[in-house]
Amino acid sequence: MKKVLLLPILLVILLYTTAFSQLNLMPIPAHYQLENGKFRIDTTFEISIKGNPNDRIYSAATRMLRQLSRRTGIYFHQDYITKASNSNSTKLQVMCKEPGLLKLDENESYTLTISPRQITLEAENDLGALHGFQTLLQLVSTDSLGYYFPAIFIKDKPRFPWRGLLIDVSRHFEPVNVIKRNLDGMAALKMNVFHWHLTDDQGFRVQSKIFPKLTELGSDGKFYTQAQIKEIIKYASDRGIRVVPEFDIPGHSTSWLVAYPNLASAPGPYKVQRGFGVFDPTFDPTNEKTYKFFDKFFGEMAKLFPDEYVHIGGDENNGKQWRANPKIQEFMKKHNMSNVHELQTYFNKRILQILTKYHKKMIGWDEILQPNMPKSIVIQSWRGIASMVKAAKEGYKSILSSGYYLDQMQSAGKYYAVDPLPSNTPLTDTEKKDILGGEAAMWGEMVTPENIDSRIWPRTAAIAERLWSPQNVKDVNDMYRKLRVVNLYLDELGLTQIKNYGMMLRRMTNGQNIAPLKELVNLVEPVKGYERYNHGITYTSYYPYTHVVDAARPESIHARDFNIMVSDYIGGKKEDYKILKSKLEKWQKSSVELKPIIKHSPILWEADSLNTEYQLTTKAGLEALGNLHNNVEVDSNWINSEIITIEKWRKPFANVNLEIVDAVKELIEAEKIKKN
Amino acid sequence: MKKVLLLPILLVILLYTTAFSQLNLMPIPAHYQLENGKFRIDTTFEISIKGNPNDRIYSAATRMLRQLSRRTGIYFHQDYITKASNSNSTKLQVMCKEPGLLKLDENESYTLTISPRQITLEAENDLGALHGFQTLLQLVSTDSLGYYFPAIFIKDKPRFPWRGLLIDVSRHFEPVNVIKRNLDGMAALKMNVFHWHLTDDQGFRVQSKIFPKLTELGSDGKFYTQAQIKEIIKYASDRGIRVVPEFDIPGHSTSWLVAYPNLASAPGPYKVQRGFGVFDPTFDPTNEKTYKFFDKFFGEMAKLFPDEYVHIGGDENNGKQWRANPKIQEFMKKHNMSNVHELQTYFNKRILQILTKYHKKMIGWDEILQPNMPKSIVIQSWRGIASMVKAAKEGYKSILSSGYYLDQMQSAGKYYAVDPLPSNTPLTDTEKKDILGGEAAMWGEMVTPENIDSRIWPRTAAIAERLWSPQNVKDVNDMYRKLRVVNLYLDELGLTQIKNYGMMLRRMTNGQNIAPLKELVNLVEPVKGYERYNHGITYTSYYPYTHVVDAARPESIHARDFNIMVSDYIGGKKEDYKILKSKLEKWQKSSVELKPIIKHSPILWEADSLNTEYQLTTKAGLEALGNLHNNVEVDSNWINSEIITIEKWRKPFANVNLEIVDAVKELIEAEKIKKN
């Protein structure tokens, strides 16, 4: 084991730049070294497990074997892996010293050694071994003799101990199977915290047996029973994933107050919110009944959720109800509180007392970082990395979500560039230790069970790599190369980002040929940030998220490929001409074929202008490409008028943008201008 | 309402042959009449529900509205439909007289009247109304103004009261979400009985709190908790579907006897079976402990499963353990039993006493039909329609599954032709009343959660229509036309027969282009019946069902289309030449492109000969088509040698058959022979 620790930095860099491109490992391990030789995968491949691991390792090993079998079609002799599977002669030897505990800072390291005849996987505990299984599955390769693992030595451990995914199930409810398949995706990418945003203005999603009215009145019947919660926690635990529940208080709490208006800061009655935004209903922090309620509630939830952390939200409390309520104002005066933030801190401290009583630690959004909060809390930074730095400077532990908001529809490359601890961090080494990691955040306003996976994956894999791999892993192009492989891998696991894309296009075309629509939608991306709210529709939880924008992927890999190829071509890589030409011709053709399809499918009428933009843009691109290829000189007026036409049509139609417009403009502008 | 009853038969026939082709209703209603005009679907579409229905109607109406919204993209004003939604001014008025009871022979009729300004849906109870909702969803149409429902009058009711789907979850476990999505499919096709084959030699899948060892030792951890069972029963009930559990005894019971070997007819110990077939382990019917066990067990299950019927299996008891056990032989002598069938009847009667005590009725496979069984039992006929006729002649109620075995991989047309009560039935009118209906049976040996939907759907829709629609509905081509529409409709609902087909091909090609493989697999079908068992592999529950045969659809619609077109062309429809040529050329091209893809994907190596067959067959087809088109006369030896080549390669490769071979042979044989 010491061997690798002594590897010169130079060799590591070399690996990243050369042998590297042969591997699809995501996230990239902390250290690895490719060796000569191949381990052949055949029917005799068998797994033994030794040591003293948690039982989760047996089902995980069996799942791994079956997944390998499904992928390769190889009919392994071994069926179920149990404690009895501990022979010395099997080809994969797994050794774990002790049972893994699902808690912050647990050792997740593993060492994987593949030689042509033997594989060994060593880990302190089963959590590390589970990561090793995922690495092994990503190493499956083929050659003319069949399937094999390359000989390799890997010594791996995560950079950050908190690598999370938040799923908001309040704005849109996500059934059990949606959560399960996303846990499978997380495990594949070595993520270890599922942050379950269970309550918000639009729905209260967890059954309370003490306060059944919470779901009876606050969920529209869409909630998880306690049996289902346990089922999901078990499923996560089986995959080495902690489950941190979020109960967002004192704001974002309309759905609670529907059932218990007497705990609100204004009289009510309240109705479950259907729309989105920041709403007024807020718990009354000056009412002792509020704390009696929370004492019972968190007592119940503390038993249901085994993780040591409970997330109390705490964000976006607008304070309106507090300022409007004379009793609350009086309370603030009496306690010398000069603003609502101080009142919220008072509330948070009272909640912290309750959580502490039930042996839970508190985590909350960065609003909870106020003077006088104890250092035991964890801050989740969403408003900017500055608040994370501030928290660390003040001695708080924190995690980063700012820059990882999946609902903002940014590119994988953009998320990949966000580092909780960039090389220029102003933090000292001691302060750095309080940066626990980060979380991708899938806010649920615009996502449904049909398209949520496509908003989470594969982009979250880039965040997973950022949080696991060493800081110097920064090759964006290689990340994108691997993202394609990961995307197919997730498809096999049951994630629906590819499957439901097809279904949504089929539904829109209503039995017609989907190919032309697919060509177009492959090249668009939803408008970024929260721009979609600005186009006249008041969205609600029952809006039909089945339009072009809802099917479109957050990032168009097809456009990215084209755009890079155009840059290369203009930069001198003339051999790409034919490919570019055939792409543009195919798109031209599809834009024509799409016209009658749109005509016969009213849900697509909104895409008519988009198709015109597509048609004009690809036409102009084809002409410019032809001119470039044939060295035709053109009039500068011609160039200007082409640009004007393209710009005129360059708009978000149907809430999406055509992502090849810049590249086509580059082609046009690269044309030679005729000398007068 | 009387109007339609007076419709002359002639008009009904006319509708089936003309206006008919405009509608995609499946199953076809008992009576309908298209009217002039269109009901426009817009944001003001709203639903009111009146009368005294069961609460399930509100969630069903809300689901219907949301599905309509997802399909059309229309953002309806109405959100949730509740008891308060009972205004006189809404456009869809639903009226139910009373709450529907989920039991045999409950009234499921409905009357749907769509006029340009108003829709009324009248039913005795909510079960009929739910069927009406499904009909309405299938009527969504488009024109140049948008979405509409055609004006129509429908008076509908099922032909048979028992329209079931059996899913075997023992040979392969099927998770909760697989069951749920199939219940959605059933509801869409107006099926009303989910027959849950919960136990067999390969796994005991239902939690018993009294006998927890049943799942602890007999399920490999793959079973439904009682909470999940309740969840599924609720889900089914919400969709108007009864759940009939099957506990297969006294044979097919290895998984029980793993936990309770003392109840077996031979000493044990027993292990959960991994392979398939008929096994020896059988409950001891002479041991009073057996009945004490079943008394407690069925007491528990009777509470868990609300349906009045419990299925006791009873099939394929080979009697070996009974004949080999001297104590059992002695018992038989003592009770004057001359064979094991009589002993099984004794067992069945004892079980029937227990079920009766818990107010349950018994259903079983046709083996339970033995002299002296009381007439209260229901016989499920699987060995042939003769046993059903026999049962009816003897005064038993029965349902048909013979001819509806989905695992036999027959065509939809073949299942469609199977009628429990064909026009030539030897039964009297009184006897006919005991024919309750039928069940499609999805036996689970070769299906996994990945491909089970593709084995059930869309073929089961043909069976659903057979069991719902009038006997004279027999237009196979029209059934196939609608099957395409239904297939897309089920895709929207979450069924995976299209989605996972793509995934399985992607996994096999391992990141390469899947299009050429898809062209080929589109044209093949798995070997029929149980032929797959005859090719040297001993299949088990952990075999990787991820090969070409597992992805291939049971019926190739692409081949069917081609074959019909070839017949038409040879019959004189010359204008199809171009389409046939382009199809054959496309296939030729794909067979060439597929070669390197197969080479780089070891799981596809088994398809190499299949691809050669594909290449040779399409090449021969192209040549023959060219000769026919150009009136080229060919040598008879040439024809013979072509046929010989094709026949030489005509084999099930990789357990599939290329389904265009006959049509290509037709083309070759249609060529003109040169006169000597």
**Which residue in B452, B507, B601 has the most chain A C-beta atoms within 10 A of its own C-beta, making it the best mutation to test that interface?**
B507
Interface membership of B59 toward A (CB under 8 Å): yes
DSSP character at residue B21 = G
Residue B499: closest CA among chain A residues belongs to which residue? A499
pLDDT on residue A364: 97
pLDDT tier, A372 (very low <50, low <70, confident <90, very high otherwise): confident
Is the distance from CB of A164 to CB of A438 less than 8 angstroms? yes
Q: What share of chain A in percent tops pLDDT 90?
A: 94
Residue B121: which of B130, B111, B131 has the closest Cα? Answer: B111
DSSP H helical ranges for B494-576: 499-509, 515-521, 548-551, 557-570
3-state helix, strand, coil in chain B (%, to 5): 45, 15, 35
Judge: B498–A503 Cβ closer than 8 Å, yes or no: yes
Residue A483: closest CA among chain B residues belongs to which residue? B511
Partner A, chain B 573-602, Cβ-Cβ below 8 Å: 599-602
- Quick: pLDDT tens for B415-458: 999 999 999 999 999 999 999 999 999 999 999 999 999 999 99
- What are B26's two structure tokens? 């499946």
Q: How far apart are CA A309 and CA A639, in angstroms?
A: 60
Q: A316 to each of A342, A346, A465, how far by Cα in Å?
A: 14, 16, 30
Interval A172-176 mean pLDDT: 98
Interface membership of B496 toward A (CB under 8 Å): yes
Who contacts B618 (Cβ-Cβ below 8 Å, separation ≥6)? B584, B587, B588, B591, B660, B664
Three-state secondary structure call for residue B237: helix
Angle at B169 between CA B166 and CA B175, to 5 degrees: 115
Interface membership of A536 toward B (CB under 8 Å): no
pLDDT at A11 exceeding the cut of 80: no
- Quick: pLDDT tens for A271-299: 999 999 999 999 999 999 999 999 999 99
Closest-CA distance of chain B to residue A652, Å: 18
pLDDT at A410 exceeding the cut of 60: yes
- Quick: pLDDT tens for A305-358: 999 999 999 999 999 999 999 999 999 999 999 999 999 999 999 999 999 999
Closest-CA distance of chain B to residue A137, Å: 13
pLDDT at A9 exceeding the cut of 50: no
Q: How far apart are CA A556 and CA A554, in angstroms?
A: 7
Interface membership of A544 toward B (CB under 8 Å): yes
Is the distance from CB of B131 to CB of B155 less than 8 angstroms? no
pLDDT on residue B9: 38
Active site residue B316: yes
- Quick: pLDDT tens for A579-603: 999 999 999 999 999 999 999 999 9
Q: What residues in A contact B601, CB-CB < 8 Å?
A: 142
Judge: B176–A177 Cβ closer than 8 Å, yes or no: yes
Q: A413 to each of A79, A451, B215, how far by Cα in Å?
A: 41, 21, 48
pLDDT on residue A512: 94
Q: How far apart are CA B210 and CA B564, in angstroms?
A: 58
Closest-CA distance of chain A to residue B544, Å: 5
pLDDT on residue B371: 84
Is the distance from CB of B162 to CB of B242 less than 8 angstroms? no
Interface membership of B304 toward A (CB under 8 Å): no
Partner A, chain B 85-144, Cβ-Cβ below 8 Å: 142, 144
Q: What residues in A contact B450, CB-CB < 8 Å?
A: 70
Q: How far apart are CA A349 and CA A362, in angstroms?
A: 10
Residue B116: which of B64, B42, B62 has the closest Cα? Answer: B42
**Which residue in A45, A483, A488 has the most chain B C-beta atoms within 10 A of its own C-beta, making it the best mutation to test that interface?**
A488
Which residue shows structure tokens 């002296």?
B372
Q: Which helix (H) or strand (E) holds A483?
A: helix A476-493
Closest-CA distance of chain B to residue A600, Å: 7
Q: B650 to each of B647, B664, B670, how far by Cα in Å?
A: 5, 12, 20
Judge: B176–A175 Cβ closer than 8 Å, yes or no: no
pLDDT tier, A15 (very low <50, low <70, confident <90, very high otherwise): very low
Is the distance from CB of A498 to CB of B506 less than 8 angstroms? yes
DSSP H helical ranges for A189-287: 213-218, 226-238, 254-259
Is the distance from CB of B214 to CB of B288 less than 8 angstroms? no
Q: Over chain B, what is the mean pLDDT?
A: 95
Of the residues A231, A316, A531, A666, which is catalytic?
A316
pLDDT on residue A371: 84
Q: How far apart are CA A106 and CA B158, in angstroms?
A: 61
- What are A303's two structure tokens? 């038993």
Is the distance from CB of B379 to CB of B368 less than 8 angstroms? yes
pLDDT on residue A660: 98
Interval B205-233 mean pLDDT: 98
Q: How far apart are CA B645 and CA B660, in angstroms?
A: 15
Partner A, chain B 20-49, Cβ-Cβ below 8 Å: none
Q: Find residue A34's DSSP bridge partners.
A: A152
Residue B629: which of B573, B560, B577 has the closest Cα? Answer: B577
Handedness of CA B136, B138, B143, B146 (dihedral sign): positive
Who contacts A89 (Cβ-Cβ below 8 Å, separation ≥6)? none
Nearest residue, CB atoms, B146 vs list A220, A231, A602: A602
Q: What one-letter code names the amino acid at B179?
A: I
Closest-CA distance of chain B to residue A676, Å: 49
Angle between helices A56-72 and A476-493 (to 10 degrees): 100
Judge: B75–A543 Cβ closer than 8 Å, yes or no: yes
Is the distance from CB of B259 to CB of B293 less than 8 angstroms? no
- Quick: pLDDT tens for B635-648: 999 999 999 999 99
Who contacts A211 (Cβ-Cβ below 8 Å, separation ≥6)? A259, A260, A293, A296, A297
Partner A, chain B 505-534, Cβ-Cβ below 8 Å: 506-508, 510-511
Interface membership of B74 toward A (CB under 8 Å): yes
Q: How far apart are CA B557 and CA B462, in angstroms?
A: 14
DSSP character at residue A224 = B
3-state helix, strand, coil in chain A (%, to 5): 45, 15, 35
Residue A410: which of A582, A580, A525, A511 has the closest Cα? Answer: A525
Q: How far apart are CA B209 and CA B67, in angstroms?
A: 38
pTM: 0.96
pLDDT at B579 exceeding the cut of 60: yes
Q: B516 to each of A505, A510, A642, B598, how far by Cα in Å?
A: 21, 25, 38, 10
The total of other beta-carbon atoms located within 10 Å of residue B212's CB is 11
pLDDT on residue A675: 82
Who contacts A242 (Cβ-Cβ below 8 Å, separation ≥6)? A102, A103, A104, A192, A193, A194, A236, A307, A309
Residue A551: which of B492, B503, B66 has the closest Cα? Answer: B492
- What are A285's two structure tokens? 């922090």
pLDDT on residue A359: 98
Nearest residue, CB atoms, A142 vs list B485, B496, B602: B602
pLDDT at B391 exceeding the cut of 80: yes
- What are B603's two structure tokens? 């799981």
Q: How far apart are CA A218 and CA A205, in angstroms?
A: 8
Closest-CA distance of chain A to residue B285, Å: 33
- Quick: pLDDT tens for B268-298: 999 999 999 999 999 999 999 999 999 999 9
CA A69 to chain centre: 28
Who contacts A386 (Cβ-Cβ below 8 Å, separation ≥6)? none
DSSP character at residue A302 = H
Nearest residue, CB atoms, A503 vs list B74, B492, B503: B492
Angle at A16 between CA A145 and CA A492, to 5 degrees: 50
Interval B327-332 mean pLDDT: 98
Three-state secondary structure call for residue B338: coil
Closest-CA distance of chain B to residue A113, Å: 25
Of the residues B316, B531, B606, B666, which is catalytic?
B316
Is the distance from CB of A529 to CB of A414 less than 8 angstroms? no
Q: How far apart are CA B222 and CA B207, in angstroms?
A: 10
The residue count for chain A: 676
- What are A521's two structure tokens? 């939608």
- Quick: pLDDT tens for B129-178: 999 999 999 999 999 999 999 999 999 999 999 999 999 999 999 999 99
Judge: A503–B491 Cβ closer than 8 Å, yes or no: yes
Closest-CA distance of chain B to residue A491, Å: 7
Chain pair A-B, CB pairs under 8 angstroms: 131
The total of other beta-carbon atoms located within 10 Å of residue B200's CB is 28
Burial grade of A116 (CB within 10 A; 0-12, 13-18, 19 or more): middle
- Quick: pLDDT tens for A151-161: 999 999 999 99
Q: Find residue B245's DSSP bridge partners.
A: B196
**Which residue in B139, B485, B488, B499 has the most chain A C-beta atoms within 10 A of its own C-beta, making it the best mutation to test that interface?**
B499
Partner B, chain A 394-453, Cβ-Cβ below 8 Å: 450
Q: What residues in B contact A177, CB-CB < 8 Å?
A: 175-177
pLDDT at B56 exceeding the cut of 60: yes
pLDDT tier, B16 (very low <50, low <70, confident <90, very high otherwise): very low
Q: What one-letter code names the amino acid at A654?
A: A
Is the distance from CB of B324 to CB of B266 less than 8 angstroms? yes
pLDDT on residue B372: 82
Is the distance from CB of A341 to CB of A351 less than 8 angstroms? no
Q: How far apart are CA A390 and CA A385, in angstroms?
A: 9
Q: How far apart are the first and last CA of chain A?
A: 72
pLDDT on residue B8: 39
Judge: A72–B225 Cβ closer than 8 Å, yes or no: no
Residue A377: which of A366, A358, A363 has the closest Cα? Answer: A363
Angle at A492 between CA B602 and CA A149, to 5 degrees: 45
Is the distance from CB of B178 to CB of B449 less than 8 angstroms? yes
Nearest residue, CB atoms, B492 vs list A144, A496, A507: A507
Interval A645-660 mean pLDDT: 96
Q: Largest Cα–Cα distance in chain A?
A: 86
